A and B are shown apart, each in its own frame.
Chain A
Amino acid sequence: PPPHSHSDWIGPPDKHSNLRPVIFYVPPEESALERRLREARQEAQASNQRFWARHNRAFPEEFIYSRLKAKGLEMRDESGQKTTLSAEEMADFYKDFLSKNLKKHLQYNRDWYKHNFRITFLMGQVALMRALRWLRRRKKNVEQ
């Protein structure tokens, strides 16, 4: 992003996590509240990135393995039953994958919701603070 920019920049989806990274703009007079917000967002971004990169890495490998297994079975079946059987195989794999990772997913869910609420709440506080600051400046200008 250009150096003179005054806002955050969001990039293309990461190839591992599919999440879009954000480069945060640090204003020269960043208040403590704004810094907390920025740090919360960075932390959430890092945590999300970790989870999804790991999750997406695990998924295709096991998927391919299961596909090969399914293909092996496919050969033995009549053409009429081919699709159904591979769908069932897929279902078993997906069910397996989901149940194995359920605890992890739930934990991530909780973390993500916490991050999300905290970030949004901080954003609200920062917006309010900026609005009050702007009003105070206007008052000062009027008085002068």
Chain B
Amino acid sequence: GLFVWHLRSAGARQIPCRFVHLYHVASNKLITFQYFNFLKRMYVTQCNKDLSQRAKPKSDSIVSPFHDLQQLDQEKKVVHKISSASPVPQSWSEMSSRNELREVKSAAETEDSVIPGGAESKEDRQWKEMKLRLDDLPGILARLSKIKLTALVVSTASAGFAMAPVPFELTCFLLASLGTGLASCAANSINQFFEVPFDSNMNRTKNRPLVRGQISPLLAVCFAACCGIPGVALLTLGVNPLTGALGAFNIFLYTCCYTPLKRMSIANTWVGAVVGAIPPVMGWTAATGSLDAGALLLGGILYSWQFPHFNALSWGLREDYSRGGYCMMSVTHPGLCRRVALRHCLALIGLSAVAPVLNITTWTFPIISLPINLYISYLGFRFYRDADRSSSRKLFFCSLWHLPLLLLVMFTCKKSVLEKEDKGELHGGSHEMAIEIRLP
């Protein structure tokens, strides 16, 4: 088998990068044996992005690259496998690396060579074969579909489902979540398919599968189709047509509006906020079958949340975005960027207060949520005033726990359907009152 070892150490104090690569060609075993000896002395581990991800249930994929920027002095070593002769485990320890080397040696000796005489074992740095390896495929597809972001999207959709004032139906819930997840995978894959040269030029995204050639564009599109079409079909037929339409619309909005707009005008942020606001609306419509005020309120809360979240994140990535040629508020209109973030933090307070008016929650919700909304508004104000890296980071990380907490509080303050019946208000018309959720 062939092995490529990629050793990179990026230091904040400009530690020079060291790249070591090894090619094995069966004919020249002596040289490769020496290389293997050399490698044995090196300590090889794999810093898997997944492992360094925060252990939050609703972690965002954007968190990981943001961490990368901060952890510049962390040594990142990546192991790539060329041939599918022997499967390679993802995480390594020094012991297993030695075992693997021994395995490779024996595989090399038994491999029949088709090489013409005179082929040298080149130490060609970093050139990799563009062949699809099946055991890498799950990881590649996970990265292609931005699986962590998808998980976050599905959880906001489930929040929308849970907040709907109808009895909880498990099958509907599962179908809606699955459909939303598939739609999100499809949208993310198409987004990456469109953005290959731009992603190559930005530090945050230059390790994406299409950029590195680990997968062909054709496969990416096929994967997107295999996720998107069943996903939307599932939503339309298994849940209801409204949800399916919303799912399809969201895919279209993300891939055909947001992605090209990123390079044309700062309006992309607002479009992107709508894209983020639609999943909870989808969850709600999946449960109730209709688009009512509650759905729009939930969507509104998520829409407002997007701004402090994204503006704070993009503040630290200004240079990257500018180099990539993206039109982002943080780059071209920094004042507007901070104003909008603050404005929407305050809007969250207002929207939380509207929730009981629409009979989605009891009056306890705005009261309990006031502290967290005030805190994020405070950080938004600090960001507005200071406009520096630390305030933007604080705001960003706050937004990460603020949203799940807000949704959780909302759920616990949810007005039960029974209570509404007592008041003589019936929501919808055709729901069975037999099963009722008792709130804790």
A91 within 8 A of B: yes
Taking the closest CB of chain A, its distance from the CB of B223, in whole angstroms, is 12
- Chain A residue contacts of B119, Cβ below 8 A: 2-4
Contact B388 A4, beta carbon cutoff 8 Å: no
- Chain A residue contacts of B77, Cβ below 8 A: none
In the complex, the chain A residue whose C-beta lies closest to that of B264 is A106
B49 within 8 A of A: no
**Contact flag A98-B197 (CB < 8 Å), given A10-B128, A88-B334:** no
B193 within 8 A of A: yes
- Chain B residue contacts of A120, Cβ below 8 A: 193, 217-218, 221
Contact B387 A1, beta carbon cutoff 8 Å: no
In the complex, the chain A residue whose C-beta lies closest to that of B216 is A123
**Contact flag A12-B125 (CB < 8 Å), given A94-B318, A105-B263:** yes
B212 within 8 A of A: yes
Kindly name the residue among A7, A13, A87 whose own CB sees the greatest number of chain B CB atoms within 10 A: A87
Contact A22 B130, beta carbon cutoff 8 Å: yes
B431 within 8 A of A: no
Contact A4 B114, beta carbon cutoff 8 Å: yes
A42 within 8 A of B: no
Taking the closest CB of chain B, its distance from the CB of A10, in whole angstroms, is 4
**Contact flag A123-B218 (CB < 8 Å), given A1-B127, A4-B114:** yes
- Chain A residue contacts of B274, Cβ below 8 A: none
Contact of A109 among B25, B260, B331, B387 (CB under 8 A): B260
Q: How long is the Cα–Cα vector from A101 to B332 in the complex, in angstroms? A: 14
Q: How long is the Cα–Cα vector from A23 to B211 in the complex, in angstroms? A: 15
Total interface residues in chain B, CB < 8 Å = 46
Contact of A98 among B116, B125, B327 (CB under 8 A): B327
Contact of A91 among B206, B217, B333 (CB under 8 A): B333
Contact B212 A4, beta carbon cutoff 8 Å: no
Tell me the dominant secondary structure on chain A's binding face: helix
| Binary contact track B167-196/A, C-beta < 8 Å → 1, others 0 | 000000000000000000000000001101
| Binary contact track A84-95/B, C-beta < 8 Å → 1, others 0 | 100110110011
Taking the closest CB of chain B, its distance from the CB of A110, in whole angstroms, is 10
Taking the closest CB of chain B, its distance from the CB of A20, in whole angstroms, is 6
In the complex, the chain B residue whose C-beta lies closest to that of A92 is B332
Q: How long is the Cα–Cα vector from A97 to B331 in the complex, in angstroms? A: 11
Interface residues on A, range: 35 or more
Taking the closest CB of chain B, its distance from the CB of A90, in whole angstroms, is 7
In the complex, the chain A residue whose C-beta lies closest to that of B321 is A94
- Chain B residue contacts of A27, Cβ below 8 A: none
Contact A112 B122, beta carbon cutoff 8 Å: no
A29 within 8 A of B: no
Contact B322 A94, beta carbon cutoff 8 Å: yes
Contact A10 B127, beta carbon cutoff 8 Å: yes
- Chain B residue contacts of A109, Cβ below 8 A: 260, 263-264
Contact A1 B129, beta carbon cutoff 8 Å: yes
- Chain A residue contacts of B122, Cβ below 8 A: 2
In the complex, the chain B residue whose C-beta lies closest to that of A49 is B197
Contact B388 A83, beta carbon cutoff 8 Å: yes
B307 within 8 A of A: no
Q: How long is the Cα–Cα vector from A69 to B127 in the complex, in angstroms? A: 41
- Chain B residue contacts of A11, Cβ below 8 A: 126-128
Q: How long is the Cα–Cα vector from A90 to B315 in the complex, in angstroms? A: 12
Contact of A116 among B193, B319, B387 (CB under 8 A): B193
Q: How long is the Cα–Cα vector from A42 to B323 in the complex, in angstroms? A: 24
Contact B130 A9, beta carbon cutoff 8 Å: yes
**Contact flag A13-B217 (CB < 8 Å), given A84-B387, A94-B318, A106-B264:** no
B55 within 8 A of A: no
Contact of A56 among B114, B201, B260, B263 (CB under 8 A): B201
Q: Top 10 closest A-B pairs, CB basis?
A: A10-B213, A123-B218, A12-B126, A95-B332, A8-B130, A94-B322, A94-B331, A91-B334, A18-B201, A7-B131
A to B CB contacts below 8 Å, 15 in the list: A1-B124, A2-B23, A3-B119, A48-B197, A51-B197, A52-B200, A63-B319, A91-B334, A94-B318, A98-B331, A106-B263, A113-B260, A120-B193, A123-B216, A123-B218
Measured CB to CB, the residues of B under 8 A from A are 23, 25, 114-116, 119, 122, 124-131, 193-194, 196-197, 200-201, 206, 211-213, 216-218, 221, 260, 263-264, 318-319, 322-323, 325, 327, 331-335, 386-388
* 11 further A-B pairs in the complex, CB-CB below 8 A; given A10-B130, A17-B201: A11-B128, A12-B126, A12-B127, A18-B206, A59-B322, A91-B333, A95-B332, A116-B194, A123-B216, A123-B217, A123-B218
